[in-house]
Amino acid sequence: MKRRDITLYVNEEKYELNVPVNKTLLQVLREDLGLMDTKYGCGLGECGACSVLLDGDKAILACLALAATMNGKHITTVRGLERDGELHPVQQAFVETGAIQCGFCTPGMIIKGVSMLARNPHPDETEIKHGLEGNLCRCTGYVKIIKAIQRAGELLDSRSSG
């Protein structure tokens, strides 16, 4: 086939699309759905700027996924994390800790943060550094990003207990 009808759930909204088979999920998100928060940085899976969540908490790369093979899948992008104007704890932590400079890696970093904390709610610095593999930042040197993820863990703790 050269085109395919697919259903995609993105940020809890249902989209019915007809896509060329050679379009990546990243292209469909940006070009067909107008969702610009997921970025292109390298196209080959190194920078992680195109990271999105599959099924709520699994980070995958939108630039290395064919949209036509994603029929029925549930995707969350960074703009799907906010609730009624309130930042998700991971977003809030990035804002508070000075972990955002140019901001281009930020959506991917936040997605990675959500995914990491879903599996390991209290990661130490070494675990975060290894968990950040696949997300490159050129501005911050990662130091405050690591602090942000630790802070996010604290915020998520207080959110679930409070």
| Residue 18, token pair as written in the block | 């007809």
Q: How far is the CB of 2 from another protein (least distance, A)?
A: 6
12-41 residues in contact with another protein (CB under 8 A) are 21-24, 30, 34, 36-41
Query: Mask: binding to another protein, 68-107, rule CB under 8 A, as x and -?
Result: xxxx-----xxx--x----x---xx-xxxxx-xxxxxxxx
Whichever of 8 and 70 has its CB closer to another protein, that residue is 70
Q: Give the Cα separation of 61 and 23 in Å (integer).
A: 14
| Residue 103, token pair as written in the block | 């901001």
Q: Give the Cα separation of 41 and 147 in Å (integer).
A: 24
Return the bridge partners of 6, or none: 17
102-121 residues in contact with another protein (CB under 8 A) are 102-107, 110, 112, 115-116
Whichever of 140 and 150 has its CB closer to another protein, that residue is 140
Q: Give the Cα separation of 70 and 6 in Å (integer).
A: 8
